[in-house]
């Protein structure tokens, strides 16, 4: 098997914005990164979907990546979201992230274009030939409009630079087939928090988690239990956090998780258009505040 970027629980970090200027709050981003380090998170993912990368300027993305790399200080890997539906743009973003010192690249499938399976393979091959860091492929068809098939993964797994998959297609049968055809040639991470246990039971290596923004220690415990094949205890822990995870997806990610972080005093409850705050979920999320560890 290729060397993994990480094994265990990674946090898909939010990007905090200031309430007055709506600018990226880099100091808060670093505080959130430090909170993750203190609570056992095993990798940090910056500028992903949860980080609202689609609304960040090129300069803001570079600044966020730089800030998280500085915070991690080589203690745990940093993975930067550098995907695009323009293959050349994905290369450019990836090269810039590499200059900032990231350990790996999270590259989402090309969205909107609706590439064929052959087009998806060509997209990743082209990028892989032009970057120097390991790549995690990100499959999230609910957002992109395309779904990577198991046999396509088998081809992607042959590319040396591609070492992992963040799988968020929600289809356990498809994920089982992917693991079967790829064997040990690629690491699979759950892209849906509530599917961590079945994916790891099938041979997955961890989770890239939204919930870890607010319960990092719990997510670390969950993957540790799965890694040690203590699935009964993992299931019991999952039951304790299921309603929280459901609430965190009561609206489009990252609207709810930012609301809960704000309720806990971690950062401002600011998202960028076209996302908007949802006051109706505030009461729903407020009951979970006692579950959340303090940032300091």
Q: In 129-228, which residue ranges form alpha helices assigned H by DSSP? A: 141-144, 150-156, 172-182, 196-201, 216-227
Which stretches of the chain score pLDDT less than 70? 294-296
Instruction: Encode pLDDT of 192-215 as tens digits.
Output: 999 999 999 999 999 999 999 999
Residue from 28, 166, 205, 258 carrying the catalytic annotation: 166
**Annotation marks residue 138 as catalytic:** yes
258 is catalytic: no
Which residue has tokens 């808060």? 28
Spelled out in words, what is the top-level CATH class assigned to the domain 8-230? alpha beta
- What is the sign of the dihedral through the CA atoms of 168, 139, 212 and 17? negative
Please answer whether residues 136 and 79 qualify as being in contact, where contact means their C-beta atoms are separated by less than 8 angstroms: yes
Which residue among the candidates 124, 138, 153, 189 is catalytic per the annotation?
Answer: 138
Whole-angstrom distance between the N-terminal and C-terminal Cα of the chain? 39
Domain boundaries, the chain: 8-230
CA distances from 174 to 152, 171, 221 (A): 12, 5, 26
Structure tokens that stand for 41 in this block: 């998170």
Distance (Å) of CA 270 to CA 48, 122, 205: 17, 37, 33
For residue 57, count CB atoms less than 10 angstroms from its CB and return exposed for 0-12, middle for 13-18, buried for 19 or more.
exposed
CA atoms within a 13 Å half-sphere pointing along the CA-CB vector of 218: 22
pLDDT of amino acid 295: 52
């Amino acid at each position: 098997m290729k060397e993994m970027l990480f094994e265990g629980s990674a946090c898909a970090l939010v990007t905090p914005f200031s309430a007055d200027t709506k600018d990226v709050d880099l100091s808060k981003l670093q505080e959130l990164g430090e909170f993750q380090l203190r609570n056992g998170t095993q990798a940090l993912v910056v500028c992903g979907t949860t980080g609202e990368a689609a609304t960040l300027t090129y300069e803001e993305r570079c600044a966020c990546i730089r800030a998280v790399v500085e915070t991690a200080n080589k203690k745990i890997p940093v993975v930067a979201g550098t995907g695009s539906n323009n293959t050349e743009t994905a290369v450019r973003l990836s090269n810039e992230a590499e200059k900032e010192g990231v350990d790996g690249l999270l590259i989402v499938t090309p969205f909107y274009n609706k590439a064929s399976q052959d087009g998806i393979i060509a997209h990743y091959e082209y990028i892989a030939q032009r970057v120097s860091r390991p790549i995690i492929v990100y499959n999230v068809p609910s957002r992109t409009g395309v779904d990577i098939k198991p046999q396509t993964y088998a081809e992607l797994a042959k590319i040396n630079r591609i070492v992992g998959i963040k799988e968020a297609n929600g289809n356990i049968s498809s994920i089982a087939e992917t693991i079967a055809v790829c064997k040990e040639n690629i690491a699979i991470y759950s892209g849906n928090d509530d599917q961590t246990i079945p994916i790891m039971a099938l041979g997955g290596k961890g989770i890239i988690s939204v919930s870890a923004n607010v319960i990092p220690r719990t997510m670390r415990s969950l993957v540790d239990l799965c890694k040690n094949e203590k699935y009964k205890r993992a299931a019991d822990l999952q039951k304790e956090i299921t309603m929280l995870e459901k609430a965190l997806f009561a609206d489009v990610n990252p609207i709810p998780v930012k609301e809960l972080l704000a309720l806990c005093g971690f950062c401002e409850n600011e998202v960028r258009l076209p996302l908007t705050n949802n006051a109706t979920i505030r009461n729903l999320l407020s009951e979970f505040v006692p579950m959340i560890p303090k940032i300091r």
